[in-house]
Structure 1
Amino acid sequence: MNFASVRIITADIKPLVRFYERVTGLPVTQYTEDFAELHTPSGTLAIGSTRTLQLFGGANVAKPAANHSAIIEFRVDDVDAAYRKLVDILGEMVIQKPTTMPWGNRSLLFRDPDGNLVNFFTPVTSEAFKKFDG
């Protein structure tokens, strides 16, 4: 089994597509007006509109802009450089400026336009590098 993706359900797909393209610098492929994907070498962030919920059994299957338990994480080459580049874009959406965590990653925590937590991180200890690079 391989982990494939995480999907965000949103009431308005366009702002999230623009946001993730801006902060990651990667293109988002929008297949329909209700579904898009941001592909990275290690996984995919899918973005679906609330209209797609009908395909999964109804509108009450998921609720947009209500995530309080998951953090979407991206490994970046230099989290401090990413912060300097994005600080004006993120503004008050920054939750935590780059900080070194006890597990060896340096992390920048912010929210996307729907309020989902996003973590950009860079391993900074030899143990953290081993974890990600084998």
Structure 2
Amino acid sequence: MRVVRVIADLRVPDVEAAKSFYTDYLGLVTEEFNMGWVARYTAPDSGANVQLVTRDATAPEDPVISVQVDDVEGAYQEAQRLGYEIVHPLTTEPWGVRRFFVRAPDGNVINIAYHRA
């Protein structure tokens, strides 16, 4: 498994209400996507980004980061082999992302995802 990108998942009560701080003040472009409960904003020059999340639509817990990988099946098998707690099983979500959530030994929930190009 190779990590392609790591994105902070910031918990907000309302994506639309939080939007202006991240776009107007920080200058992130609006938006790579907005599904109502999650939206990604990106810096136009550097590609740095952040996701604002109200509550994950399909998982029982919210992740603190999303880690995009090139082999999500391999990452899932390795997490199981190492005995890590799987919080959300390997799933192809309705919006096309294949992902699972794993709890790190420190307690943080991590979204491991593969996005088709």
Same fold (TM over 0.5): no
Flag the structure with larger Rg: 1
